[in-house]
């Protein structure tokens, strides 16, 4: 980015502001001064958010290539570069991350009372690693951020979590690590395919590189059977992180045991790493593998099972946090379905739904955290009739529950609708099966709402609960605004996503039609793909 | 045999250290217990001079050709190992000062033995002939048996020494038997001569037996399955600084010589020994990691962890004639030396503070008592588990690539899964340090030990974040495939 003729590495600045803040706290603030630590952390994440805003305004919507690119040689022996750059997909996720960073810090002032210095340092470190992951255009660099991110999260769960935190923390770490090391092998195989070859595969003899752009082109040219192997190597890394159906068991534990900020970050950002990986790597890199019938069937089946199974398990949860955690399995199943519909509507809907899920599920975890702080229990049976005692709280909760279940005028609807549109265009039965999840969504959320908020206050412990403070409301308002914005006028989001999505859909050989009904662009612009479509018998 | 002055110069570090060891041994009688620290500083000084000599040789034009009638060779490969081994001795001395100072045994013997072990290791990595290699290996082994039993009044230390000696002597016998078989067939001992001879000769069954026996003898030294059984007992019983040293120094020498014998001596039979090494590597990493999962004693856990790491490192030996082969093992060993020594150095730290550091519980609440120590320990654990951006990740990355490149994709898959599994037991220590609410008085470390730990930590982080200069340097240290 150029400002007054001076080149500014804005992505690096956005990425490392939290790291710098963390180091400042470590070295210059004694741990007794908790007020100062909170204040510094807040300022840091606020500054980071403000610095990240120009990305949104200066981002050129129509440009095909990556923007705000920074490139330095890092390990030339291996061809590793320090290479940052973003497209519309990473742009949205980075902004979501910087925003959620503020909320995560702000919701911790009273919730965290022990070892505060370490807590805020870890939160800030996590912020840097997450943004770095979304910015990376070099696979090696991406992998470094991707993996090191687990460390602060492990400690956030393990130190400040609830009763079974040790178990949840190590389970989270081991599961995700097992997936990512397989991805590492996939990366190595790709690297060799590009250079000198491995096993029986003759390499292309190109200079060594980890550039995502270059390796994407290389991977797409690989023989189909190698693509399938590598697809699954990457698949484990991403599917565990999403998490997709049989790999999801770490998620309820991690979410439930984590402190509120941890759950919010997990739900809003960390889960998106997996779907982001699918969008950024799996789709454009392995089109032949994906278009192999059984591979696609496996992925879609797992997604649909995730949607339905996740929703049904959600229904029977007794713990609010666990309930919302399981609902994530269902929602992320939707995202996966959209992404693997391999058309514009599905992909754009899937990506938008990633953001939506971050907003609404993040907010729900935030809300559960607020009531937990007051009552120190998350059991649904402990509550009832809260609407009388805490009307403001009840209102926010309702808005966010409605957003999560996909009510029109709120964000969830746009995402789910677009995904279903994409799925329908690809295969009627996919859309049909997934739609059952949409039916179950309101069931578990409204039932939860009914049990917690309606009726008389039966538990005397709830009779004196104070309603939300101004600070608590302040953390929720931006999320409500965003939910409404995306719900009413999603076009800016689709505008940002259109070009990168087109590129990916074209790479994976899918149909560029239909583009989402809600973001139809003027007819003349859609021509090349349309012409191809029309000419098909 | 013609010996030039240049030959003597090339072996000057070894000769100097021999003299230094003898000097320390002879003057130690004049020091009483209270002043023995001086001997430690003297040892550091001598090793420092030796490092200087090796560093000088790295720029010396006469290196790279066989010397003393082909008995030794001082090539870049040897120079890298010599430097790393000397650094490991420096670290050991730093970690020992306080530890040995409290023990009721003369420190002079200890430092002298450490230097003699060092001499053996240095000679070994320069060995270019089966006989010189064997003699050097015995010098190293005999000195280290005594070091293991240095706490001679303690049952465990004596047991460690005895076990180490009996099993070590047996394995030396196996190795010697293999060497003699090879000599019987070939009638020559120099590694390049052997390679030249076998180039034109078909292999006989007897030769295969000979090679297998040599392999077995060397696998014992690096504690690979099924020759690992001595490791946990010896690591547990030896004085902890000695354990730290054993886990890096002699292993470095063994890897170096394993690579040299098989690369230079038997390149033609790679197809035979390659598969065996792959299988041993797989068994070693599986067994080491699974056994480590079950340990509650930290030293035993780390012993099994270093067995597992021997399994990873063997992957590097496989990458024969690929650009990542020996390069991978060199990068990995550079990382391994610092991270593994660092972990043991922190165990030493707890022990000198009156903790037995026996169970994981001894690490409880370390974060509250000494945050720096806890964070540094975390860095080592992350590095051992291969999490970026640490040296351990870079090292493992090279090993995985060399296994893939060598065509052992199944081994690479196994290795990555095992290294993910290893996190489980490494992080038991991390969890104890950070999650436990145990309170206690702050712990302070001695300067020497702090220096050792910080050197290791700095190396682990720097090699992890900016590996370029190191890997480029190591590329030049690879033995050129014949």
Chain A contact set for B404 (CB, 8 A): 185, 188-189, 192, 198-199
Predicted TM-score (pTM) of the model is 0.92
The reply to whether A502 falls in a domain is: yes
Output the DSSP codes for A194-218. HTTEETTEEP--PPP--BHHHHHHH
Assess whether pLDDT exceeds 70 at residue A523: no
Is A55 within the bounds of a domain? no
Residue A516 has pLDDT above 70, yes or no: no
pLDDT in tens, B234-289: 998 888 999 999 999 899 999 999 988 888 888 887 777 788 889 999 999 999 99
At A517 the pLDDT is 59
**Residue B217 located in a structural domain:** no
The rounded distance, in Å, linking the Cα atoms of B60 and B58 is 6
Q: Do B420 and A77 touch (CB under 8 A)?
A: no
Report the alpha-carbon distance of residue B474 to residue B470 in Å, rounded: 6
Amino acid A528: pLDDT: 43
> Are both B115 and B246 inside the same structural domain?
yes
In a domain, A430, yes or no: yes
CA distance A135 to A142: 8
- Residue A3 DSSP label: E
Instruction: Return the SS3 of A311.
Output: helix
- Specify whether B236 is located in the same domain as B311: no
DSSP tag of A521: P
Q: Which residues of A touch B401 (CB under 8 A)?
A: 188, 191-192
Whether residues B253 and B378 share a domain: the answer is no
Same domain, B239 and B380: no
Q: Which of A440, A439, A467 is nearest to A453 (CA)?
A: A467
Whether A6 maps to a domain, the answer reads no
Would you state the pLDDT for residue A164? 87
Q: Which tokens go with B438?
A: 């145990």
- DSSP strands (E only) in B113-236: none
Answer whether A533's CB lies under 8 Å from A513's CB.
Answer: yes
> Which residue in B311, B310, B330, B327 sits closest to B319, CA to CA?
B327
Number of folded domains that form chain B: 2
Arithmetic mean of pLDDT, A99-125: 90
Q: Tokens 């682990």 appear where?
A: B460
**pLDDT value at A514 more than 80:** no
Q: What is the CATH number of the domain that holds B147?
A: 1.20.58
* Position B199 in a domain: no
- B201/A342: higher pLDDT: A342
Task: Report how far residue B132's alpha carbon sits from residue A376's, in angstroms, rounded to the nearest whole number.
Answer: 72
**Confidence at residue B1, expressed as pLDDT on a 0 to 100 scale:** 66
Smallest CA-to-CA distance from A319 within A368, A357, A361 is with A368
Q: How far apart are the first and last CA of chain B?
A: 26
Do B438 and B457 reside in the same domain of the chain?
yes
Residue A210: HSE in the Cβ half-sphere, 13 Å Cα cutoff: 27
* Residue partners of B41: CB distance under 8 A and separation at least 6: none
Tell me the mean pLDDT in the region B172-190. 91
Q: Which residues of B182-195 are buried (b: 16+ CB within 10 A; e: fewer)?
A: beebbebbbbbbbb
- Mean pLDDT across chain B, nearest whole number? 88
Who among A143, A154, A198 is closest to B404 (CB)? Answer: A198
Which bin fits B357, alpha (ψ -120 to 50), beta or left (φ > 0)? left
Do A124 and A7 touch, CB atoms closer than 8 A? no
Contact assignment for B387 to A147 by CB distance below 8 Å: yes
Provide φ and ψ at B28, rounded to 5°.
Answer: -65, -25
Which residue range(s) make up the domain with B314? 270-482
- Token digits of residue B326: 């020996």
Q: How far is CA A44 from the centre of its chain?
A: 22
Q: Mutate which of A72, A180, A181 to test chain B, going by most B C-beta atoms within 10 A?
A: A181
Residue B67: pLDDT band with limits 50, 70, 90? confident
Res A524 pLDDT > 70: no
For A321-348, what is each residue's pLDDT tens digit?
999 999 999 999 999 999 999 888 899 9
Question: What average pLDDT does range A368-389 have in this prediction?
Answer: 88
Check whether A522 has a pLDDT greater than 60.
Answer: no
Collect contacts of B274-278 with beta carbons under 8 A, ≥24 apart: B274/B318, B274/B320, B274/B406, B276/B212, B276/B215, B277/B215, B277/B314, B277/B317, B277/B318, B278/B314, B278/B315, B278/B318, B278/B408, B278/B411
Distance from CA of B416 to the nearest CA of A (A): 6
Q: How far is A259 from chain B (nearest CA, A)?
A: 14
Residue B98 has pLDDT above 90, yes or no: no
Q: How many CB atoms lie within 10 A of CB A463?
A: 11
Chain B: give the shortest CA distance to residue A33, in Å.
17
Residues B325 and B438 in one domain: yes
Residues 6+ apart with CB under 8 A from A296: A290, A340
Q: What is the pLDDT of residue B131?
A: 92
What whole-number percentage of chain B has pLDDT above 70?
Answer: 97
Helix (H) or strand (E) holding B67: strand B66-67
Show the domain range for A522: 341-537
**Alpha-carbon separation of residue B58 from B48, B62, B83, B91 (angstroms):** 15, 10, 10, 22
pLDDT at B355: 65
- Does residue B341 sit in the same domain as residue B245? no
The 8-class DSSP code of residue B127 comes to B
Whether residues B294 and B343 share a domain: the answer is yes
**By C-alpha distance, which of A25, A51, A53, A47 is closest to A38?**
A25
Please tell me which residue of chain A has the smallest CA distance to B469. A75
Retrieve residue B246's tokens: 């054993």
* A156 within 8 A of A126, measured Cβ to Cβ: yes
**Contact with chain A for residue B235, Cβ under 8 A:** no
Contacting residues for A82 by C-beta, under 8 A, at least 6 apart: A70, A71, A72, A73, A74, A138, A141
Confidence category of residue B174, pLDDT binned at 50, 70, 90: very high
* Average pLDDT of span B21-35: 85
Q: In chain B, pLDDT over 90 holds for what percent of residues?
A: 49
- Say yes or no for a CB contact (<8 Å) between A173 and B401: no
Kindly write down the DSSP assignment for every residue of A389-447, as one continuous string. H-HHHHHHHHHHHHHHHT-TTSHHHHHHHHHHHHHHHH-HHHHHHHHHHHHHHHHHHHH
Helix, strand, or coil (residue A505): helix
Return the residue matching tokens 């060779």: B73
- Is the minimum CB–CB distance between B294 and chain A shorter than 8 Å? no
Which among B420, B424, B471 has the least Cβ separation from residue A77?
B471
- Mean pLDDT, residues A482-509: 89
- For the CA atoms of A261, A264, A268, A272, the dihedral, rounded to the nearest 10 degrees, stands at 80
Q: Does A191 touch chain B (CB under 8 A)?
A: yes
The answer as to whether A475 is a domain residue is yes
The enclosing H or E element of B85 equals helix B76-102
Tell me, yes or no, if B400 comes closer than 8 A to chain A by beta carbon. Answer: yes
Highest mean pLDDT among A118-132, A512-526, B193-207: A118-132
Residue A526 lies in a domain: yes
Q: Which residues of B touch A173 (CB under 8 A)?
A: 423, 427
Interface membership of B389 toward A (CB under 8 Å)? yes
Give the residue from B260, B283, B300 where a domain finishes.
B260
Question: CB of B413 within 8 Å of any CB in chain A?
Answer: yes
Q: How far is CA B20 from CA A513, B44, B108, B132, in A?
A: 80, 11, 12, 21
Name the pLDDT band for A510 (thresholds 50, 70, 90). low
Helix (H, G, I), strand (E, B) or coil at B249: helix
Is omega for the bond preceding B340 within 30 degrees of 0, making it cis?
A: no
Domain count, chain A: 1
Contacts with A184 from chain B: Cβ below 8 Å: 397, 400, 416
pLDDT at A408: 87
Q: Is residue A397 part of a domain?
A: yes
| Average pLDDT across chain A, whole number | 88
B475 in the same domain as B386: yes
SS3 B151: coil
Q: Average pLDDT in the A359-382 region?
A: 90
Chain B residues 325-384 within an 8 A CB cutoff of chain A: 367, 382
* Dihedral of alpha carbons B202, B208, B209, B214, sign: positive
Asked whether B384 and B343 are in contact (CB, 8 A), the reply is: yes
DSSP structure class, residue A292: S
User: Within an 8 Å CB–CB cutoff, is residue A151 touching chain B?
Assistant: yes
CA distance A184 to chain B (A): 8
Confidence at residue A536, expressed as pLDDT on a 0 to 100 scale: 43
A350 occurs within a structural domain: yes
Asked if A416 and A435 count as a contact pair (C-beta separation under 8 A), the reply is no
Distance from CA of A311 to the nearest CA of B (A): 31
Tell me whether residue B188 is in a domain: no
pLDDT interval class at A103 (50, 70, 90): very high
């Amino acid at each position: 980015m150029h400002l007054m003729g001076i080149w500014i590495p804005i992505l690096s600045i956005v990425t490392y502001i939290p790291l710098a803040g963390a180091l400042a706290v470590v070295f210059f603030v004694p741990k007794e001064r908790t007020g100062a630590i909170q204040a510094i952390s807040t300022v840091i994440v606020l500054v980071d958010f403000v610095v990240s805003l120009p990305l949104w305004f200066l981002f050129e919507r129509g440009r095909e290539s990556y923007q705000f690119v920074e490139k330095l040689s890092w390990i030339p022996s291996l061809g590793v570069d320090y290479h940052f750059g973003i497209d519309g997909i990473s742009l949205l996720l980075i902004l979501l991350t910087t925003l959620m960073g503020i909320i995560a810090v702000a919701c911790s002032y009273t919730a965290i009372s022990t070892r505060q210095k370490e807590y805020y340092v870890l939160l800030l470190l996590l912020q840097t690693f997450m943004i770095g992951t979304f910015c990376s255009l070099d696979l090696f660099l991406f992998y470094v951020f991707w993996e090191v991110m687990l460390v602060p999260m492990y400690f956030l769960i393990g130190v400040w979590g609830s009763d079974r935190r040790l178990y949840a923390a190590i389970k989270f770490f081991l599961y995700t690590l097992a997936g990512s090391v397989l991805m590492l092998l996939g990366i190595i195989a790709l690297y060799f395919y590009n250079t000198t070859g491995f096993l029986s595969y003759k390499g292309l003899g190109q200079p060594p590189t980890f550039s995502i752009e270059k390796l994407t082109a290389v991977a797409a040219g690989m023989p189909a059977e190698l693509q399938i192997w590598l697809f699954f190597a990457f698949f484990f890394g991403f599917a565990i992180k999403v998490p997709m159906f049989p790999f999801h068991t770490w998620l309820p534990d991690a979410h439930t045991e984590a402190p509120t900020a941890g759950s919010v970050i997990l739900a809003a950002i960390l889960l998106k790493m997996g779907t982001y990986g699918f969008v950024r790597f799996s789709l454009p890199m392995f089109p032949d593998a994906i278009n192999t019938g059984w591979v696609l069937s496996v992925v879609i089946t797992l997604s649909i099972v995730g949607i339905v199974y996740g929703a049904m398990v959600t229904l029977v949860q007794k713990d609010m946090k666990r309930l919302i955690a399981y609902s994530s399995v269902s929602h992320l199943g939707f995202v996966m379905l959209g992404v693997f519909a391999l058309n514009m509507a599905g992909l754009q809907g899937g990506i938008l739904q990633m953001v939506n899920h971050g907003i609404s599920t993040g907010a729900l975890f935030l809300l559960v955290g607020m009531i937990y702080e007051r009552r120190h229990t998350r059991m649904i049976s402990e509550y009832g009739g809260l609407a009388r005692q805490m009307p403001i709280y009840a209102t926010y909760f309702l808005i966010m529950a409605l957003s999560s279940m996909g009510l029109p005028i709120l964000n969830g609807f746009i995402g789910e609708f677009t995904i279903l549109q994409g799925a329908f265009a690809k295969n009627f039965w996919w859309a049909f099966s997934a739609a059952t999840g949409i039916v179950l969504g309101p069931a578990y959320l409204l039932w939860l709402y009914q049990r917690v908020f309606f009726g008389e206050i039966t538990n005397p412990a709830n009779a004196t609960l104070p309603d939300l403070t101004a600070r608590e409301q302040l953390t929720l308002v931006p999320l409500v605004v965003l939910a409404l914005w995306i719900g009413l006028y999603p076009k800016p989001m689709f505008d940002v996503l259109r070009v990168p999505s087109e590129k990916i859909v074209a790479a994976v050989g899918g149909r560029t039609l239909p583009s989402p009904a809600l973001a139809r662009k003027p007819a003349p612009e859609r021509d090349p793909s349309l012409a191809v479509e029309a000419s098909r018998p | 045999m013609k010996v030039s002055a240049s030959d003597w110069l090339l072996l000057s570090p070894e000769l100097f250290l021999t003299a230094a060891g003898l000097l320390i041994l002879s003057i130690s009688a004049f020091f009483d217990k209270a002043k023995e620290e001086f001997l430690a500083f003297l040892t550091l000084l001598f090793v420092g001079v030796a490092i200087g000599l090796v560093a000088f040789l790295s720029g010396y034009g006469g290196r790279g050709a066989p010397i003393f009638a082909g008995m030794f060779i001082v090539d870049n490969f040897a120079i890298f190992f010599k430097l790393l081994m000397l650094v490991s001795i420096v670290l050991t001395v730093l970690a020992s000062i306080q530890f040995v100072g409290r023990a009721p045994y003369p420190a002079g013997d200890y430092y002298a033995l450490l230097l003699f072990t060092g001499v053996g290791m240095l000679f070994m990595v320069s060995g270019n002939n089966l006989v010189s290699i064997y003699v050097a290996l015995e010098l190293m082994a005999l000195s280290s048996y005594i070091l293991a039993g240095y706490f001679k009044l303690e049952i465990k230390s004596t047991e460690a020494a005895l076990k180490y000696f009996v099993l070590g002597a047996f394995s030396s016998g196996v190795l010697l038997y293999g060497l003699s078989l090879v000599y019987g067939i070939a009638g020559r001992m120099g590694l390049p001569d052997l390679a030249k001879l076998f180039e034109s000769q078909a292999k006989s069954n007897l030769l295969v037996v000979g090679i297998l026996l040599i392999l077995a003898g060397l696998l014992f030294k690096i504690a690979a399955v099924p020759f690992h059984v001595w490791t946990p007992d010896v690591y547990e019983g030896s004085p902890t600084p000695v354990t730290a040293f054993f886990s890096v120094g002699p292993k470095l020498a063994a890897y170096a010589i394993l690579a040299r014998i098989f690369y230079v001596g038997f390149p033609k039979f790679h197809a035979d020994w390659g598969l065996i090494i792959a299988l041993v590597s797989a068994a070693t990493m599986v067994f080491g990691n699974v056994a480590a999962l079950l340990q509650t004693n930290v030293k035993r856990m780390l012993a099994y962890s270093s067995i597992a790491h021997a399994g990873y490192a063997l992957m590097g030996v496989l990458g024969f004639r690929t650009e990542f082969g020996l390069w991978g093992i060199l990068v990995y060993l550079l990382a391994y030396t610092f991270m593994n020594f660092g972990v043991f150095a922190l165990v030493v730290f707890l022990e000198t503070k009156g903790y037995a550091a026996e169970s994981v519980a001894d690490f409880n609440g370390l974060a509250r008592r000494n945050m720096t120590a806890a964070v540094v320990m975390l860095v080592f654990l992350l590095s051992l588990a291969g999490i970026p951006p640490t040296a351990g990740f870079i090292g493992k990355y090279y090993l995985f690539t060399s296994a893939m490149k060598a065509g052992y994709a199944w081994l690479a898959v196994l290795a990555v899964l095992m290294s993910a599994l290893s996190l489980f037991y490494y992080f038991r220590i991390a969890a104890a340090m950070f999650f436990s609410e145990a309170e206690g008085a702050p712990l302070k470390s001695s300067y020497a030990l702090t220096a050792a730990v910080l050197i290791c930590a700095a190396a682990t982080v720097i090699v992890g974040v900016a590996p370029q200069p190191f890997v480029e340097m190591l590329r030049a240290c690879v033995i050129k495939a014949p």
